Structure 1
Amino acid sequence: MAIFHLTHKFLKRSSGASSISKAAYNAGQKIEDNDGSTEYSDYTRKGGVLYDEIMLPSCSPSWANERGELWRRLEAREDKSTRRADAILAHNIDIALPHELTLEQNIFLAKDYVREQFTRKGYAVDWAIHSPDPRGDSRNIHLHILVPLRKIDAIGESFGIKDRYTKQQLSKKVSGQRSSWAILANRHLKRYGHKAAIDERSLKAQGHSRKPTKHRGIRPKSTRYQLDKMRAKQPPLPIAPIVRTTKQIHGDGTITIQRVIKHTALNNIRVGGDNKNPAPVPAPQPALNAQPKGWPPEAVAMWEAWGSRNPDRFFTVWPELKPRGFVAAKEPSL
């Protein structure tokens, strides 16, 4: 089911961070540190970026629509500050998106949240949706949000005065963001017919007696191997199409949405082996009439030949092998 995860950190120069590098990472792009510079941040080979967009308040200047220019001007503004080496650049927020929702539905959810929390208050926002890490849980689709601590000034040439927070003010602000995310995500889950819900409160505050688990990050290779072996014995998850979309703003002011890079949830599941010598993915063993059984040899051969690439057609030929909960893939209309 959907889980609650929202972390807030400041992007700080004192820790060696750069808003240009972070924006390039989030969007999977190459951004020059300065116009015409030979130094740049290049994450074009990173992969896993499903959607990225810059959202701006009304009456924003045209240069703010260009990712590189937006963050270069912020960096230049911080260079003029009194403590430029220790400057705090932006809010860096990571959020787990509900895996029950399609990519299109998660995009609408993210837009609602960004608009409600930031653009309506006058902030530029650079955000992106990433696919699950192949080494982790295949349901871990997540959202990266990068927000400058400065609003674009009234003249529109640069950024204005920086926001300052006491510990109490920051705690209250983040608590409000967490609560708003839970409310909005639950509203979208209910809208699309899901019973799952998330809660930003601690387990103790919710009245649960179980102890909270600890985030372990990327697990050791040996642990991942055992998890992959276990997943290989389970029926395949319903396959939902994932399409990366890119918003482009042209010189004449027109906007186009391009759709590229199609893949499915099964592409995010690595089974056995290690990074250099991954083990082949075995034919799945879904439930047959609610009783676990092996597939007939001819069905296995057909799956390996073409069925894994076209599961909708395969389970039309072999309806008795269709796993419980399987939903035919549908292209999202963006």
Structure 2
Amino acid sequence: MTMVHIATKAISRKSGQSAVASAAYRAGDVLDDAKYGKTHDYSKKSGVMSSDIVLPFSLKALGVSVDRETLWNTAEAAETRSDSRVAREWLINLPYELDEYDRHQLAINFAQKLCDDMDVIADVCIHRPVMKLPFDPNVPPSSKYLREGEENPDPRNFHAHILVTTRAPTIGPNKTLAFDPKLKTPFEWSNKKRKAHDLPSSMQEIKRVREMWVDTANKVLAQHHLPLMDARSYKDQGLDQQPTIKMGVEATAMERRGITTEKGDTNRAIKARNKLVADNHIKQEADNERRISALRKGLAWATEKNARLPGSIGGTKQRADFAKHLSGSSEPHITYCTEQNNRTAIRVDDTKRCVEEAKSGIAWAAKRCENLPKRCDDTKQRINGTAQANNKLTQRIDDTKQAIEGITEAIGKSNIEINKATERSARPAPNPFDDAARRARAARLDRQQRQVDRDTRANRHKDERIFEYAERMKLHLAMRLIQRHHNSMAISWAQGETIEDAPDKFDKRQVAILSEFAKRLGIEDKDKALGFRDHLQQVGKRFDYTLVENNKSIIKLLRDPKAERERYLALIKHFEDFRDDIDQKRATFKTSIINKLGGSAGDVGRLTRDVVSSFNYTEWLTDYIDNDNHPAEARKCAKEHLADTLDKTCQQFKFAFRDMSSLPTTQRKAYSETLKAALETFTEQYDGKLSESQHRALQDGLESYQHQVSRTNAPSRGFSP
């Protein structure tokens, strides 16, 4: 069975700890601590295999990214108390049977579950057993991870430090990371507050996370056909085993260097006790099975022989009477019967001897069981001696008082278990002739086997259901992609249908995205060579694991267009607010120049004011597009709006020049000069960015205006009087 170890502790200012320093140490990194004005340099730390920042999916969907230094400095800044918990660490042992890639993926997957479950950000650092320095390729594998002077480190000690935030992340201005200063995550609440919110206690929550880790790891172990983890305690597993106590860093280092410690002695005594109990249990089971098998054979033989005795004796007498009747003399036959009776007596003696041997075997088994209490008493005395040594250590070292009390408590529990083991060992061996016990054991084994069979069938059916669901989901996604233009999938704008009427259908933007995706994969809406069903099956096969993982945003759009639309609208709301603001500024500016141009001048005046105000408007849009702090979707909308504005401005130039002749003479000069100056500036600024149709609109408007001027200045062709 693969070892299960998961522990958690708080990183607290009360203990003199810093989140930035803790993150730098675990990642072997160099981080600047803004709060304390220090630089924590652990770049020379060995044993760090990888370090990753894991964000919850809610942040990943918004395209948020953060580096380690910014993350933990922000977490420190969000805490104002002098005794605040600034971070929390989860320490997990990674299965050494897996390779480096699988261990890394397992740690990242578990951290992702923690992030999504608790709404936190995680810093995952994987450590290996400490390598001997300098590295020597000739060193045998058993000592590959030794330090200088160390004798017995555990080469299986691959583990991950998962440092998580104690507050839920939020998005600040310009897509920056922030933390809610008023609310801790529910895991950090007191048990009283958790109970008031109908939440389980912190101990139950830790057990739940432990089970989540075991389930996550077992899925990977099962894929590699490795022994699975069991999160249950020895007691829950029905094992008479006592857990060892935690050694700690200092005691472990001393033991590795050959220095005996009290904690090491305690663990060695516990391990010896566990081994003794396990060996005695195995040996007792083997001896009992062997004796019971032998006694069963003897009992069967004796039963068979005894069953023949009455029949044999009666048969002999009948044969003697029959012989006497035939011959008139019974002496030869009496002799024969006497011999038969002697043989029967011998058989009875043999049966008695077998019974005596069975009794002797039972006495031998009982005598063997009598030795167990003495051995358990010896183990109890050694553990009691360890307890006394620990009490002395408590008096000498005040700083480790709490740890020693824990050891004493553990030893007390061990004594209770030893007493229970002694009582069980002192019980007489089960009677091998008790058929009821044998049948009960057989029935128990049958029940266990039936339960295993039921679990196997249930798991097989569950796997089949999951596979069927995955296949149906593939076909569902393929059908929605193929029929994205159909009225049942897309909003029918021509028929007056709106987003409010059909929120679960694709809008124009979403249809365009899906069409681009289908074009990129070479997926046609219809395949003339195949029927609809065959074409659907063919497209459904394209939705394999790789495609889904690389196109998660498309999959979310296919499954739930409403949720994708809401997320998109939330991202572009920043631009919409910006556009409303600059639209208001533009309207104010156009109103302010009416009097300067000599009046409103109708449609021509409105078009001219739109043209003049477009310069500042397009500059504001360009600045917004160039700002990398704005969301990518919002900047994309700004680009589209800028292109529409330029196209609209070119058309406004055209119509303003064309209708210039409709103005009164008093206003025509002011508006025409303003329009020509604006056209010159506009052409210089956007000449390289305009399309051919936009250039044509400007040229048409200018030619129309010049034609009007030439007609006005031409001499009259009428006859002079």
TM-score clears 0.5? yes
Q: Match for residue 245 of structure 2?
A: 214
Q: TM-score, normalised by structure 2?
A: 0.29
Is 1:165 the counterpart of 2:197 in the alignment? no
* Aligned counterparts of 1:6 and 1:193: Cα–Cα separation in 2: 22
Q: Match for residue 306 of structure 1?
A: none
- Contact persistence 2:51–2:126 (CA under 8 A): yes
Q: Which has the higher contact order (CA 8 A, sep 6+)?
A: 1
Q: Match for residue 53 of structure 1?
A: 52
- Contact persistence 2:54–2:115 (CA under 8 A): no
1:152-231 to 2 correspondence within 5 Å? Answer: 152-155=169-172, 156-160=176-180, 161-163=183-185, 164-167=188-191, 169-194=201-226, 196-217=227-248, 218-219=251-252, 221=254, 224-225=257-258
1:258-269 to 2 correspondence within 5 Å? Answer: none
Instruction: Write out per-residue CA displacement over residues 207-246 of structure 1, whole angstroms, 9 at most, x where no aligned residue.
Output: 111221222234354654499xxxxxxxxxxxxxxxxxxx
Q: Match for residue 104 of structure 2?
A: 107
| Secondary structure of 1:107 counterpart | helix
* Aligned counterparts of 1:219 and 1:111: Cα–Cα separation in 2: 28
Instruction: Write out per-residue CA displacement over residues 192-213 of structure 1, whole angstroms, 9 at most, x where no aligned residue.
Output: 121x122222111111112212
| Secondary structure of 2:9 counterpart | strand
Shift of 1:147: 0.6
| Structure 1 counterpart of 2:70, one-letter code | E
Q: TM-score, normalised by structure 1?
A: 0.61
| Structure 1 counterpart of 2:190, one-letter code | T
| Structure 1 counterpart of 2:2, one-letter code | A
* Aligned counterparts of 1:157 and 1:197: Cα–Cα separation in 2: 39
Instruction: Write out per-residue CA displacement over residues 271-314 of structure 1, whole angstroms, 9 at most, x where no aligned residue.
Output: xxxxxxxxxxxxxxxxxxxxxxxxxxxxxxxxxxxxxxxxxxxx
* Aligned counterparts of 1:91 and 1:13: Cα–Cα separation in 2: 12
- Contact persistence 1:131–1:141 (CA under 8 A): yes
* Aligned counterparts of 1:90 and 1:222: Cα–Cα separation in 2: 31
List alignment gaps of at least 5 residues for structure 2: 131-145, 192-199, 261-721
Which structure dedicates a bigger proportion of its chain to strand?
Answer: 1
Shift of 1:139: 0.7
Shift of 1:8: 0.8
Aligned length: 221
| Structure 1 counterpart of 2:96, one-letter code | H
Of 113, 131, 138, which residue of structure 2 is paired with 1:116?
Answer: 113
Instruction: Write out per-residue CA displacement over residues 116-172 of structure 1, whole angstroms, 9 at most, x where no aligned residue.
Output: 222365321111100113352011000100111111124344101322422353212
* Aligned counterparts of 2:242 and 2:66: Cα–Cα separation in 1: 45
* Aligned counterparts of 1:199 and 1:2: Cα–Cα separation in 2: 8
* Aligned counterparts of 2:166 and 2:255: Cα–Cα separation in 1: 42
* Aligned counterparts of 2:102 and 2:91: Cα–Cα separation in 1: 18
- Contact persistence 1:64–1:70 (CA under 8 A): no
Q: Match for residue 77 of structure 2?
A: 76
Deviates more, 1:54-63 or 1:92-101: 54-63
Of 139, 151, 154, which residue of structure 2 is paired with 1:137?
Answer: 154
* Aligned counterparts of 2:178 and 2:43: Cα–Cα separation in 1: 27
| CA 1:108–1:212: 2 relative to 1, 3 Å | same
* Aligned counterparts of 1:100 and 1:147: Cα–Cα separation in 2: 27
| Secondary structure of 1:219 counterpart | helix
- Contact persistence 1:152–1:159 (CA under 8 A): yes
- Contact persistence 2:66–2:177 (CA under 8 A): no
Of 88, 92, 95, which residue of structure 2 is paired with 1:95?
Answer: 92
- Contact persistence 2:214–2:229 (CA under 8 A): yes
Instruction: Write out per-residue CA displacement over residues 179-200 of structure 1, whole angstroms, 9 at most, x where no aligned residue.
Output: 1111111111111121x12222
| CA 1:175–1:71: 2 relative to 1, 3 Å | same
Deviates more, 1:106-115 or 1:52-61: 52-61
Name the % identity. 31
| Secondary structure of 1:146 counterpart | strand
| CA 1:205–1:151: 2 relative to 1, 3 Å | same
Q: CA RMSD in A?
A: 2.4
* Aligned counterparts of 2:49 and 2:5: Cα–Cα separation in 1: 19
| Structure 1 counterpart of 2:122, one-letter code | V
Instruction: Write out per-residue CA displacement over residues 24-73 of structure 1, whole angstroms, 9 at most, x where no aligned residue.
Output: 011100100129x8621111111100011001123358775210011001
* Aligned counterparts of 1:223 and 1:108: Cα–Cα separation in 2: 31
- Contact persistence 2:32–2:40 (CA under 8 A): yes
| CA 1:20–1:222: 2 relative to 1, 3 Å | closer
Of 153, 165, 182, which residue of structure 2 is paired with 1:148?
Answer: 165
- Contact persistence 2:108–2:124 (CA under 8 A): no
| CA 1:18–1:63: 2 relative to 1, 3 Å | farther
* Aligned counterparts of 1:89 and 1:56: Cα–Cα separation in 2: 18
* Aligned counterparts of 1:202 and 1:120: Cα–Cα separation in 2: 25
| Secondary structure of 1:201 counterpart | coil
Which structure dedicates a bigger proportion of its chain to helix?
Answer: 2
List alignment gaps of at least 5 residues for structure 1: 228-334
| CA 1:224–1:90: 2 relative to 1, 3 Å | same
Shift of 1:14: 0.3
